[in-house]
Amino acid sequence: MNRTYSEYILKDGSTGGNGLRVICWPTEGLVSYIGVVINAGSRDEDPSRHGLAHFVEHTIFKGTSKRRVWQISGHMESVGGELNAYTSKEETMIYTNAPAGYEERGIELLADLICNSLFPREEVEREREVVIEEIHSYLDSPSESVFDEFEELAYEGSGLAHNILGTVEDVKRLSDSDCREFVDRFYSAPEMVVYCCTPQSPERMFRYVEKHFGRLNRKTVARDRVMPPVMKSFDLTRDRGNHQANTIVGPRVFGRRDPRRFALFLLNNYLGGPCMNSRLNRELREKRGLVYAVDSSVSLMSDTGLVMVYFGCDPGANARCKRIISNELDRLCQSTMNGRTLEKIKRQYCGQLLVSSDHRENRAMSLAKSLLYYDDIHDIATTADHIRRVTAEELREVAELLSPALCGSLTLM
By the 8 A CB rule, do 53 and 44 touch? yes
pLDDT band at 12 (very low <50, low <70, confident <90, very high): very low
Q: Which helix (H) or strand (E) holds 56?
A: helix 52-59
Mean pLDDT of the chain: 93
- Is residue 134's pLDDT more than 50? yes
* Burial bucket for residue 243 (CB in 10 Å: 0-12, 13-18, 19+): exposed
Pairing of strands 305-313, 92-99: unpaired
User: How high is the pLDDT of residue 226?
Assistant: 87
User: How high is the pLDDT of residue 14?
Assistant: 40
User: How high is the pLDDT of residue 13?
Assistant: 40
Closest CA to 40 of 189, 258, 228: 189
- Is residue 236's pLDDT more than 90? yes
Closest CA to 194 of 21, 44, 388, 387: 21
Question: What pTM, to 2 d.p., does this model score?
Answer: 0.93
4 or 117, higher pLDDT: 117
Is the dihedral angle over the CA atoms 331, 335, 341, 344 positive or is it negative? positive
Measure the CA–CA gap between 393 and 188, rounded to whole angstroms.
42
User: How high is the pLDDT of residue 10?
Assistant: 63
Q: For residue range 97-113, what is the model confidence (pLDDT) as tens digits?
A: 999 999 999 999 999 99
User: How high is the pLDDT of residue 72?
Assistant: 97
CATH class of 235-412: alpha beta
User: How high is the pLDDT of residue 215?
Assistant: 86
Give the single-character DSSP code of 160. Answer: T
pLDDT average, residue stretch 166-181 = 97
User: How high is the pLDDT of residue 168?
Assistant: 96
- Is residue 15's pLDDT more than 70? no
Measure the CA–CA gap between 197 and 361, rounded to whole angstroms.
7
User: How high is the pLDDT of residue 4?
Assistant: 67
CATH class of 6-213: alpha beta
By the 8 A CB rule, do 388 and 314 touch? no
The strand pairing partners of 26, in sequence order, are: 198
pLDDT average, residue stretch 176-204 = 95
Q: Could you state, in order of their start, the residue ranges of all structural domains in the chain? A: 6-213, 235-412
Closest CA to 310 of 252, 238, 249: 249
DSSP character string of 166-211: --HHHHHH--HHHHHHHHHHH--GGGEEEEEEESS-HHHHHHHHHH
Q: For residue range 252-305, what is the model confidence (pLDDT) as tens digits?
A: 999 999 999 999 999 999 999 999 999 999 999 999 999 999 999 999 999 999
pLDDT band at 379 (very low <50, low <70, confident <90, very high): confident
User: How high is the pLDDT of residue 165?
Assistant: 96
In terms of phi and psi (left: phi > 0; alpha: psi -120 to 50; beta: otherwise), the region of 203 is alpha
- Is residue 8's pLDDT more than 80? no
Q: For residue range 19-39, what is the model confidence (pLDDT) as tens digits?
A: 899 999 999 889 999 999 999
- Other CB atoms within a 10 A radius of the CB of residue 22 amount to 25
Give yes or no on whether 6-213 and 235-412 have one common fold: yes
User: How high is the pLDDT of residue 17?
Assistant: 74
By the 8 A CB rule, do 412 and 240 touch? yes
By the 8 A CB rule, do 153 and 184 touch? no
- Is residue 2's pLDDT more than 60? no
With pLDDT > 70 as the criterion, what percentage of the chain qualifies? Answer: 97
> What is the phi/psi pair of residue 139, to 5°?
-65, -25
